[in-house]
Amino acid sequence: MIQSQLMDRIRESFRNEFSRVPEVWADAGGRVNIIGEHTDYHDGFVLPAAIDLRTCAVAAGRDDGILRIHAVDFGGTVEVALDGLKPFDRIDWRSYTCGPFWAWIRSGRPFSGADVAVGGDVPSGGGLSSSASVEVSLVGIAAGLSLSAPPCPDVAAIARTAENLFCRVPCGIMDQMASACGHEGKALLLDCRTLQATLVDVPAGWVLVVADSGVRHSLAGGEYARRQKECADGMSFVVNSFPTVRAARDVSMEMLESVRQGMSEVSFRRLRHAVSENDRTVRAAAALQAGDVAEVGLLMHGSHRSLALDYEVSCAELDRLVEIASRIDGCAGARLTGAGFGGNTVNLVRQDAAVDFCDRLAVEYRGATGIESVVRVVRPASGLLSGRF
């Protein structure tokens, strides 16, 4: 079993809440995305890593069809009957914790009920996939209690079903794949069409730093879905001229330019981001693996610019974090990570400069905005780990 203070805390909460001892545990990563933003739902490439900010869950089985979940960080407990369980009218932590069990059962797998405690240290709404890590850890619990061990892409797919259908968030597969399939010390170049993952090393002597803008976002907020709609509108023109195209991932810049006249200016810019970001991601993975940190940095900056100008998912605070970071010694690249509209930036920083970088970025950002930022090194870590006590 993994030993962690977080796991001890969740275990203790379980005992207090349910007056019994847990039988199984699961531990899943938040994620940082190095590059490849808003490409997953275009069937494209992404380059995330699971990180050492985690969600832990523990549970004991029941055979009466009742599911009780204690959400340690929310201080609340939800109780539902599995028979007749359906998405709630209001989306909150209850949806994110019950949804994975609903999706597990919906996938045709056996489940007879459980008492569960779950909690973690992935900041919520910070663009580091707190919701995916909750979903993946709870799919891990459902698997553990039913004595099965589905391959990690299946775990990710079930977790995504929970988010898409139970929480009504039209996210892609990146977060759940990173959270479920991450590897210690590695990033994953993930093909979101085939779900094939290639492990990529972060070069020795370099670390990933996340900086919190302090601005909170919610994917349910509407802008995320609107970007998908704007892209779909543009894609209808592309497909008219190129009928074999299935997604923006299949489109080249030349193809896009050739149908530019037909579509709205907004759809064109959205698709220009999707096409150019996909290309940057594949190039960045190759550069990272080759240790060409300067090239990765340039691609990260290009990504941020494209997200800010073409996809319009940045905000003044994220732009400010990126701008300050770019001036600090030892920072090769900086960009927003995750959906945008707030949350965190990711920075590729020389290891021996990381402590000073974190301090200076926090101080200068506070000076510029009045916002206290949490700036910290995150380590590429395992995806879903699980077992029995």
Nearer to ligand GLA, 30 or 119 (CB): 30
**Closest CB 267 distance from ligand GLA, rounded Å:** 18
Q: Is 175 a catalytic residue?
A: yes
Nearer to ligand GLA, 338 or 380 (CB): 338
**Closest CB 175 distance from ligand GLA, rounded Å:** 5
**Closest CB 41 distance from ligand GLA, rounded Å:** 6
Q: In Å, how far are 19, 175, 345, 346, 367 from 380, measured between CA atoms?
A: 36, 14, 16, 13, 30
Phi, psi of 78 (to 5 degrees): -115, 140
Question: Sheet holding 186-191: strands in order across?
Answer: 45-46, 186-191, 197-201
- Please identify which of the residues 43, 175, 250, 310 carries the catalytic annotation: 175
Binding residues vs ligand GLA (CB under 6 A):
37-38, 40-41, 171-172, 174-175, 338-339
**Closest CB 169 distance from ligand GLA, rounded Å:** 7
Nearer to ligand GLA, 212 or 364 (CB): 212
* Residues ≥6 apart with Cβ < 8 Å to 190: 36, 40, 45, 46, 47, 48, 174, 177, 178, 196, 197, 198
Nearer to ligand GLA, 281 or 382 (CB): 281
**Residues noted as catalytic:** 175
